[in-house]
Amino acid sequence: MEKACIDINELINVFSNTQGSVYQSDKLNCFYVDFGGKFARYNCLSLQKLKKVVEEIDIESLLLNTHKADFELVTFNGCEHIYLLSALEIIALKDLLQGTFTMFKLNHLINDCLNRLVY
C-alpha cells in the first residue's frame, strides 16, 4: 500500500527506530509497518504473528552458516507481505517490533494506573 493513499495525519506513531516505524490507525483499526522500503498494513493478530516469526529467526546460525547467504525470507500464512532481509535488517526489524509491543504494554500500564487513581 502506498503512503500517498493514507492520510498521515490520521496515523499515530507507535514506535520508530533508525530503520523504520510502526503506525496505528484508529479509524481503520489497523497498523502500518514502514520498513525496508515497504509500507505494509497489518491487523493486530497479523502484527503479533510477524513479531513471532521474526523473533524465531536464529541470527547466530544465519551468520555462522558459510554455505548460504545471510538473507532470510520473512512471511507467514495468511500474510500478503514478504520481506527479504539481511541479518542486520532482521535485527532492526526485531528491535522495531519489540519496541512497538513494549509501547503497547506501557500504554496499558499507564491507562491502568490512571484508571485506578480516578476510581
Given the DSSP bridges, would you call strands 30-35 and 11-16 parallel, antiparallel or unpaired?
A: unpaired
Cβ 81 vs Cβ 40: under 8 Å: yes
Instruction: Give residue 68's pLDDT.
Output: 80
Task: Give CA–CA dist 82/84, Å, rounded.
Answer: 7
Could you tell me the pTM of the whole model? 0.86
Q: Kindly state the cell numbers that stand for 50.
A: 510477524
What are the pLDDT digits (tens) for 25-84? 988 999 999 998 899 999 999 999 999 999 999 999 888 888 888 889 999 888 888 999
| pLDDT more than 90, % of the chain | 61
Cβ 100 vs Cβ 92: under 8 Å: no
DSSP single-letter state for residue 10 = G
Mean pLDDT of the chain: 88
Residue 94 pLDDT exceeds 90: yes
